[in-house]
Structure 1
Amino acid sequence: MTTDHKAETVIIEREFAHPPEKLWRALTQPHLIEDWLMKNDFAPVAGHKFNLRGEWGGVLDCEVLAVEPHTTLSYTWNHVHENPAYDLRSVVTFTLTPTSGGTHLRMEQTGFRPDQTQASGGARFGWQAFFDKLETVLLR
């Protein structure tokens, strides 16, 4: 995690014993995304607008920013809330790097305001849990 005076960034990195192609499928196919992240209407196309729908009933408004197959995926991760304290406008970027044993996955979520320490802390915890579920999806 890095911090500056404007925004906070949450970074989670993990090694997966699977090739980048398999990890890429889990990051970009809607039925697999649902199994480890949330219900969605994702498509791996820059400019595609989609929603992630959480089990808590919340909806994240997202837009694909960058797609480099098997390498990089980036999209907005916005939770619009009537209370400005809970309004989150961030960007999630996944970077896949092949390793001798599989793939190194780096997730970076940028854009947490300094007053959103609860949200950034929740993201740190949440992404670890999401990656645990992702590992299970990859074992199928």
Structure 2
Amino acid sequence: MTDTAIETRTVTVERDIAYPPEKIWRALTQPHLIEEWLMKADFKPVVDHRFRFSADWGGVDCQVLEVEPHRTLSYSWAGMGLESVVTWTLSATDTGTRLRMEQVGFKPDQQQAYFGAKAGWPRFFGNLEQLLARID
């Protein structure tokens, strides 16, 4: 039997952020905060919860896959032909938190989605850091 699995690519962004995991977790899981740095969403940090990210260009259908408060958040990300998974990992450090985001599942013929994510996620991280500086 041959392995017919398609080789996929991953977008990873990792940053050290000078805020505790609890504060970053709120920004990753509270809909009114998610909307400020990413997109409008009817998100709940509950496994199997289905939600949608919405923007002026359209939206992405998602389902929560894993929730470990202040440590790990994972959800499916399906839109415009892309079936992927986004996983956030928060690790406490001496100066705050190492925040890692991985989006896995870009197929070879999804160059536009892959390069869009490679360009987009660092911008979203910048928005997130600006939000964290403004909230208590």
TM band (smaller chain): over 0.9
Give the match for residue 23 of structure 2: 22
The 2-side partners of 1:124 and 1:37 are apart by 15
Mapping for residues 1-140 of structure 1, pairs under 5 Å: 6-56=7-57, 58-79=58-79, 81=80, 87-140=81-134
Number of corresponding residues: 130
Deviation at 1:33, TM superposition (A): 0.2
Deviation at 1:5, TM superposition (A): 5.5
Structure 2: 5+ residue runs without aligned partners? none
The 2-side partners of 1:13 and 1:54 are apart by 24
Amino acid at match of 1:45: V
Amino acid at match of 2:59: V
Q: Which runs of 4+ in 1 moved over 6 A?
A: none
The 2-side partners of 1:14 and 1:119 are apart by 22
What is the root-mean-square deviation in Å for CA atoms of aligned residues?
Answer: 1.2
Structure 1: 5+ residue runs without aligned partners? 82-86
The 2-side partners of 1:30 and 1:89 are apart by 22
Deviation at 1:55, TM superposition (A): 2.7
